[in-house]
Amino acid sequence: MQAEGPIKSFSLQADQILDKQLRERLSKKPFSKSSIAIRTCGLLLTLLTIYAFISFDYKDVNFIDALLLTMDNLGKMFFDPHLKHFNFSHALFQVLVTLGLAFLTTIFGAIIALMLGLLAAENISSKPLSVVIKGTVALIRAVPTVLWVLIFAVAAGLGSVAAVIGMTFHSISYLVKAYSESFEELDKGTIEALQASGANWWQIVFQAVIPSTITYMVSWTFMRFEINFAVAVAMGAAAGAGGIGFDMFMASGFYFDLREIGAITYFILLVAICLEIFATRIKRKLQVLS
């Protein structure tokens, strides 16, 4: 019974604080410059979308028939999948080829991006060098992976070589940004303490920077690996890199077999789930060790 008084007083104070915060929010202007700009842009986009749907030439397409046909096609793909033009072992091999492309590009990109990420981190590198590296990788990231693959295909020709080089190029730019931001989150006091004790740059990197950020690095690397797997599927069709993506392209563009496309989609989905489970387990083990 004696504890009821402090508890009631505490709850009353909490209610008063919440009421005060609510009154402050209500007293603020409901229409600020930023909110007006956001609402105006949203309204314009909505009007443009409505106008586009109204003015688009549909070529006498019946929406009801098109919707029913789409549902029928999806039903054939995902509820009646089968492999007709190749068998299970061939599909498994092609999935492994696609995984190999993703693995190679991720490993190459991670090794190069680790060094560039260390040079791009302002707390362990010079600011001018950091600005140059970050600006360069930002320009590289602005170009889609498919375009980089096609650019390198001019020199190497369409195939797995151009796909690996182009995907690695884009992976480096992605991982440099991820790694450098992880390195910059390291406490400056730790670096200053090591510098005061006479540690050189390499000792600071291997004794403080990398051990403190290894979990983040693994997370970003596996995320890029999953992205590279999805890109490798697309490159199999766009750049002739082979793998399961090329079989999907053949099933859709030449055989017009929706059921085979559904079976290949299930293969890709299963591999993506396995990669996610594997990455989650590794991150948990690293968290326990750290």
Within-domain flag for 283: yes
Tell me, yes or no, whether 253 lies in a domain. Answer: yes
Which pLDDT does position 92 carry in this prediction? 84
pLDDT higher than 90, residue 113: yes
Residue 99 lies in a domain: yes
Tens of pLDDT along 81-98? Answer: 888 777 888 888 888 888
Domain count of the chain? 1
Within a 10 A sphere around the Cβ of 260, how many other Cβ atoms? 23
Tell me, yes or no, whether 55 lies in a domain.
Answer: no
Range of the domain at 202: 95-289
Q: Is residue 107 part of a domain?
A: yes
Q: pLDDT for 160-206, tens place per residue?
A: 788 888 889 889 999 999 999 888 888 777 888 888 888 888 888 88
Residue 72 lies in a domain: no
10 Å CB burial of residue 63 (0-12, 13-18, 19+) is exposed
pLDDT at 164: 86
Residue 21, domain member (yes or no): no
In terms of Cα–Cα distance, which of 260, 205, 271 is closest to 232? 271
Is 41 inside a domain boundary? no
Report the chain's mean pLDDT, rounded to a whole number.
Answer: 81
The CATH number covering residue 220 comes to: 1.10.3720.10
Letter for the amino acid at 17? I
Total residues belonging to the chain: 290
Alpha helix locations (H) across the chain? 4-27, 33-55, 63-79, 88-120, 127-142, 145-156, 160-184, 188-196, 201-204, 210-238, 244-253, 258-289
